[in-house]
Every structure is written in C-alpha cells, then in structure tokens.
Amino acid sequence: MTYRLLFIALLISVLPSCTHEFSLTEVDAERKIVLFCMPSTLGDTTLIQVARSRVIHNQGTNTDSKPFLVFRLNGEEKEIYYTEVSTGLLPARSYYVVGKLEEDDQISMEVSYPDLPVAKSQTVIPQAFPLDKSEVVLTDGEYGRKIQFRIAFTDPAGAEDYYGMRVIKKASTAFLQPENSDSDTIKYTSVDLNLDNEPLFSEKTGFDDIFDISKEYYRNLYIWDDSKINGKSYTLKVDTYYDAGYEDEEQKETIEFKIYLYKLSKEMYTYLKSLNRINNNDLGGYGLAPIRSHYTNVENGIGLLGGCNVYESEWISNPKE
C-alpha cells in the first residue's frame, strides 16, 4: 500500500497545491477558479483540488464561500466527497471521487463560486501503454557499472500518442540481530535517470546545444511523444548508477525497483511539457529567452484536468554481478 501512495504524492508534487489561494500579479488580472485533477487508472480514488486565485492588486475582501463541483464520467454525474483533514491518500481540504477508471473513459468537470464564472474542462483516459517487454540489466558505463532500464513498446500508427516513465527505488535495511529488528527501515526515492544515450530525450537544439545545457524533467517524470517513432516498435534505454546495497554482521540493505509507465492525454502531456520548459528556462532569468507560462485547459479558469493510463510493474530485484 505504501508504494501506491507514491503515485498520489507525485500528483500532489507535480500539480501546485490548491489548498491555498493562487496569486496573479498582473495589474489587470481577474480572480479565476483554479482546478487541478489528474484522473488515472491507478487505484480507485481521483483527487480534485479547487481554489480561487487571489489578485495582488485587488483591495477587495476574500470570501469563504465553498465551490460547487460537478464531475461527470461518460456523461453520468458522480458523487464528490470532501475531506477537511489529510489522510493516507489525500491532502487536507481536498475533494475526491471514488471509482475505478478505465481506458477511453470521458471525464468532464464544472466548478463554480457565487462570484465567478463557471470553470469547465474535459479529458479522456488514454489507452494502455503499449508495452511489449521491460528489462533491468547491468551494463558497463564510462565510470563503472550501471543499471539500464529497457522498455520495448509498439506505438500505434496513425495517432498522436504521449508517454511518460518514472522509476522508484526501494532501499530496505534489515538489522540481523533480533533485538534490533524494530529499527528496520524502508526508503523510497525517485530515480534520476541518465538520458544521454537515448535519442527520444537527448537531442539538443538552439541555445541548449550551443551552451551544452541539459534538460531536466520535473520530479524525474520523463515524458516524450511519438513524433520520431509513430507506428513503430522501439526499445527505450535509460540508465542510472549501480548501487549494490551492502551487508555486514549487523545489517543488510537490499535494493529493488518499480517502473511506472504512463500513457498521457494530450492535455496532461502539454501541461507537463510546459512545466519542464519553465523549470529549464535558466536563460529566461537573464533576459536571453522569453519567460514561459503554464499551460491550462480550464475554460474560465486556471489549472489542468488531464487523464493518464498507468502501468505499474512488480518490485524488481536489483541485478547481481
């Protein structure tokens, strides 16, 4: 159950928290509804976060009125729940819908406050990630041994498709003496993957190529589209340093990996791409490139309603020498 919370944690970290008001610094900006929701096939709970933006230059008072939400699944309105306090799955002051989602599900939402226009958005749950085979192998790197993740898949022809990948590392430390067993620990971290030898990620253009600027992916969620591989079978290869774990007379550490593969809706892919561009826009801070803004697909509002289909592997043992 704990590792399933990692996906919820990713959603909360990737999407700005909506439990507080957002600030719009433009002088002529108006208050807007803020909606973030990422329906997926993983689990049976869909998190919804809603707020109102706050205009810095607006001297009016803020009201505490509650929003009115409508969540429709394939045209049928679903019950929306609310939690005031944080739970194992949900942050405090958030809304949620219960029910398993499947590929091709159509989702639409409406959010309204008494003093603001109704915000609307819609998305679809994409078809499953077209995985053929996945492998985790030991290979030789420039500075020693490395772990390579190989993802073989076949992209459907005749359509625009959007993908993502994230790897979670679990380090389990067990104390061998019975009197110390209460000190056993498990640590989860997202893996920072080396993309230099993967053509889907490593191509640089413009200023990035001139100044040898490496692209970083927010929260180690690596995304790509099928523009280079449309309708083809392909094996993606990315790697990280090899951590063998350790064992001595007192304790033993074992390493395992879990692979998440995402088929993203166009809305979610576009939002994540804009987020990456903002985080990588170092030149914009020096006036050498335009300052980019977040993508939104919320009519009369700000934020994202974007679906994804998630493949989750079993825990994979660390390769041995």
Q: Could you tell me if residue 214 is inside a domain? A: yes
- Mean pLDDT value across residues 88-100: 93
Counted domains in the chain: 2
317 part of a folded domain: no
Task: Note the pTM of the prediction, 2 decimals.
Answer: 0.85
Average pLDDT over residues 284-293: 47
**Residue 122 near residue 107 (C-beta atoms within 8 A):** yes
**pLDDT at 98 exceeding the cut of 50:** yes
**27 and 93 share one domain:** yes
Confidence at residue 57, expressed as pLDDT on a 0 to 100 scale: 57
pLDDT at 321 over 80: no
Asked whether residue 318 is domain-assigned, the answer is no
Which residue in 281, 91, 268 sits closest to 164, CA to CA?
268
Same domain, 122 and 271: yes
What was the pLDDT predicted at 156?
A: 96
Neighbours of 199 (CB within 10 A): 13
For residue 142, what pLDDT is reported?
A: 80
Vertex 252 angle, CA 169 and 144, to 5°: 55
- For residues 252 and 269, membership in a common domain is answered with no
Q: Quick check: is 320 in a domain? A: no
What is the rounded CA–CA span in Å between residue 142 and residue 107?
Answer: 47
pLDDT of residue 166: 97
The whole-number average pLDDT for the span 104-123 is: 96
* Mean pLDDT value of segment 16-44: 69
Tell me how far CA of residue 172 lies from CA of 35, 151, 220, 244, 317, in angstroms: 37, 25, 21, 12, 12
- At 169 the pLDDT is 97
Mean pLDDT of the chain: 84
- Confidence class for position 291, pLDDT limits 50, 70, 90: very low
What CA–CA distance (Å, rounded) separates 173 from 267? 40
Is 292 a residue whose pLDDT tops 70?
no
* Residue where one domain finishes, among candidates 262, 277, 300: 262
pLDDT at 63: 54
Measured CA to CA, the distance from residue 164 to residue 46 in angstroms comes to 19
Q: Is the pLDDT of residue 78 over 60?
A: yes
Q: For residue 142, tell me if it sits in a domain.
A: yes
Give residue-wise pLDDT tens across range 32-69: 999 999 999 999 999 999 999 876 555 544 556 889 99
Mean pLDDT of 151-169: 97
Q: State yes or no: pLDDT of 151 exceeds 50.
A: yes
d(CA 129, CA 135): 16
Same domain, 60 and 101: yes
Domain boundary among the residues 262, 281, 299 is at 262
Q: What residue numbers bound the domain in which 207 lies?
A: 131-262
Q: Are strands 222-225 and 162-175 parallel, antiparallel or unpaired?
A: antiparallel
Which position has the higher pLDDT, 317 or 287? 317
Tokens representing 98 are 């219960």
The H-or-E segment that residue 28 falls in is: none
pLDDT band at 76 (very low <50, low <70, confident <90, very high): very high
Q: Which of 53, 11, 49 is nearest to 275 (CA)?
A: 11
